[in-house]
Structure 1
Amino acid sequence: FEDGNVVHVDGSIDPIRDIETINLELVFSDLEILERRIAKTGKMAKADKSLQKEVDVLQKLKEALEQGISARAVEFDTPEEKAFVDSLTLLTAKPVLYAANVAEDDLADDGASNEFVGRVREYAAKEGSEVFVLCAKIEEEISDLDEADKKEFLADLGVDGSGLDRLIAASYKLLGLISYLTAGPQESRAWTITKGTKAPQAAGKIHSDFERGFIRAEVVAYDDLMRLGSYNAAKEQGLVRSEGKEYVVKDGDVVLFRFNV
């Protein structure tokens, strides 16, 4: 955003230039890794021809990076090639989340009327990245408020959550993660799993015995549970479901696992 009191290191506001400057530094770092790996694997491939496939993938990545293309934007023919690339832990292969710091007036419409945010969203869409909008000034102001005052402050601005809340939501979406919950007399807890995880594997997140001896999952949606006030009330309304081994756990499920080992 334009503000005479905020001086940009390059003298002007251009988020795409800033992104590409950072990306270039990451590309240089990855190229160093690839050049060393190509030299080492290339020598070994002379004695072991099966390694030539790895050399070919490394060369493909190197050529892309030399053209300024991030590793995450390079397509590969097989899952094995993709797994090999993941094992390299290249910086430009990692998923990216762009945080757009806007002025207070741009926050209510999530930066829709801000041309700079529009450019970042266009750029991010081309590489499958995520963008979220926040106002650093507001985040500073609400950091010392209690939860009730914070909600009232944000509501007055027409915003339904803090920048931190949106950062968490955007990060989960980018990484393909969801949370389910467990609740009992001693504690309530959220468990993070990959989207698409079935009930037994979700249970295994708590303890391997839960997965090994899985019988069923008793599930109620978080919103239903909060609306009715108790598990028993939700059960009386028929909102607690009994799910088996093929059930795919959903974001916000409150789950009681039945198991026997």
Structure 2
Amino acid sequence: MNLDLYTTLRVAIDAGVARITLDNPPVNVLSGTMIRELHDVLGTLRNDDSVRVVVFSSADPEFFLAHVDIHILDEMDGLQAIADRNPDANLFQGVGELLRHQPQVTIVKLAGTARAGGAEFVTAADMTFAARETAGIGQSEVLMGIVPGGGGTQYLRERVGRNRALELLLTGDLVDADTAAAYGWINRAVPAAELDAFVDQVAERIAALSPHVIAAAKRLVPPEDLSDGLRAENDAWADLVSGDLPARLMAGALEHGAQTPAGERELESLMRRVAADL
């Protein structure tokens, strides 16, 4: 496996643990290139019996995965081949479904923020541990005039229950690590200074187990079949995203600093200002 081929990922493998660093400056958006590379690396690792755990982190301490690149709708034709690999999910849902069905244990180390498509990525992983003082997670699509289209509605309901899923989906608010842990969105909040060592310890302890034990545990606690819900989510997302309002909101977001570090730090406030000005 050539681990140096990727432009938005850095991959290192040691002692049964694959560590994948998301690295797509300036704010780690989930771009078409990153989607292609995630499909490639997860597909390659799927067949590597020596790897038992996959840990995802970010090269940017502020932004784990900002959201799907707002420009990605212009790339959809070029990404069709990837979308066709999973007829039961759309392009964005396909990333989450890869994670949910990965034979290795997948762990997110969340030091910064993850919104929208980034939040869906976090929710699809087997486990997430977040820095108490600095991490945040939000399903912010409603602020763009749409609903999640990458599995967020289904993943959230499974993780936190219907009432909290509706709260998170309809407010679009960024929540801190302690709240996310209390809701069941992530496993636990950890002091930021201890996060690296804590995640390393969890990953290394799991990787030291017999692969048969890991496989048995994952087989006995399988991901729920969300096919019907994912199809309904895609239909609702596609209907909304084709309207006039999301295009105006996304254009306004870019004009006011979305996808720049300054704009992404307070994205929810930025989007509410954009909506108020339309």
Query: Normalised by the size of structure 1, how large is the TM-score?
Result: 0.23
Query: Normalised by the size of structure 2, how large is the TM-score?
Result: 0.22
**Larger radius of gyration between Structure 1 and Structure 2:** 1
